[in-house]
Amino acid sequence: MMKNIKLYTLILFTFITLQTYGMNLFVQTPNNGTISLDVEPSDSGENVKNKIFDQISIPVINQVISWNGTTIQDGQTLADFGIVNNSTIVLTVTTTTQVPEKMSYQAVVRNTTNNLVTNQPVGMQISILQSSATGTAVYVETQTPTSNANGLVSLEIGGGTVVSGNMATINWANGPYFIKTETDPTGGSSYTITGTSQLLSAPYALYAKTSGSSTPGPQGPAGPQGPIGLTGASGPQG
């Protein structure tokens, strides 16, 4: 009786998953030290600066990062420069000599059904109103930030597309001022949600910039004449 011989062929399949892998990035600091960051090729220059701040507390606004002598801009990614695992970038620290005309602002965005708007672009128009919640708009701009998993958007007022006004010319001492936000949860400019809140304290750096001046003021009026002094003793006779 013949036996049937079955040949089983084992086929090995290799599945390649395309994904973004984390990598190590070294940063040479101004004092010739080195720090190490966990990054991804898709990280932007701004993301890298935030990670540097988390480690050594150098403000993002004062950081300049470069690769092979080329500055990595905030909107460029590490992949744009071909930066790979264990590469080294250079950190330069600049001194801010001018107060930036910006204010940090955060808000949680909900749609008309009160659901959080998460992980998507949100269209916003921001106005700074003077004197009251319905006062004159001294500055208006638009932005399209992206909300996070908790519906939170973070932006800098003064860093958007200007519609009217000039942040640099606002006299913060001549308040009160209010911030009015108009929001389109779909990322467009059909604003369906509006909110207004008072700035309970003027942006300190912006106010301080104009609260004093190195230019002397006009001379004040002369004061009243003082009392006549006592008559002195007579000198020796000649």
In order along its 238 residues, the chain shows pLDDT tens digits of 444 444 444 333 333 333 446 899 999 988 878 999 999 999 999 999 999 988 888 888 888 999 998 999 988 999 999 999 999 999 998 765 444 567 888 888 888 888 899 999 999 999 999 999 999 999 999 999 999 999 889 888 888 999 999 888 888 878 889 999 999 999 999 998 888 988 875 554 455 555 444 445 566 666 666 666 565 566 677 6
pTM above threshold 0.95 = no
* Domains of the chain in sequence order: 23-93 (3.10.20.90), 103-209 (2.60.40)
pLDDT computed for residue 124 by the predictor: 94
SS3 168: helix
pLDDT computed for residue 190 by the predictor: 93
What does the alpha-carbon distance between residue 162 and residue 102 come to, in Å, rounded to a whole number? Answer: 12
Report the run of H or E that residue 46 belongs to, with start and end: helix 45-56
Cβ atoms of residues 111 and 185 within 8 Å: yes
What does the alpha-carbon distance between residue 56 and residue 37 come to, in Å, rounded to a whole number? Answer: 11
pLDDT computed for residue 39 by the predictor: 94
Write phi, then psi, for 61 (nearest 5 degrees): -65, -20
pLDDT computed for residue 1 by the predictor: 45
> Which residue stretches of 57-129 are H helix?
none
pLDDT computed for residue 214 by the predictor: 45
What does the alpha-carbon distance between residue 83 and residue 25 come to, in Å, rounded to a whole number? Answer: 9
What does the alpha-carbon distance between residue 213 and residue 46 come to, in Å, rounded to a whole number? Answer: 35
